[in-house]
Amino acid sequence: MMKIILDTNIIILLLIKPDGIVAGLFYAVCNKHELYVSDFSFEEIAKHKSRLLKVSKLSARDFERIYAGIIANLSVVPIDIIPVSVFMRSFHYTS
């Protein structure tokens, strides 16, 4: 079982295209591996929620249902416990 850390952009993509290829991969992987996300991701989602609703064309109710389904498959890691070296290495890979 691998431990996989998800970037906020993956969660955003899951919300924008809940029936897309990435969503299919996400739900296939979450049954076989441990998925992690930083608590900062939730702040980012909340900050951009109105835009995400508009772009996704989901109702607020469907958005919340899908978001809850995503969150149910994630373990949350407080961003302040992630070592700076790991954070910078992750930033490098996603840039």
pLDDT, tens digit (0-9, with 9 covering 90-100), for 50-87: 999 999 999 999 999 999 999 999 999 887 887 778 76
* pLDDT of the residue at 53: 96
pLDDT of residue 85: 83
Question: Taking the model in full, what pTM does it have?
Answer: 0.82
| C-alpha to C-alpha distance for 51 and 20, rounded to whole angstroms | 19
Residue 11 pLDDT grade (very low, low, confident, very high; cuts 50, 70, 90): very high
Q: What percent of the chain has a predicted confidence (pLDDT) above 90? A: 73
pLDDT attached to residue 95: 67
Mean pLDDT of the chain: 91
Specify burial of residue 14 (Cβ count, 10 A radius: 0-12, 13-18, 19+).
buried
Contacts of 14 (CB under 8 A, 6+ apart): 20, 22, 23, 26, 66, 70
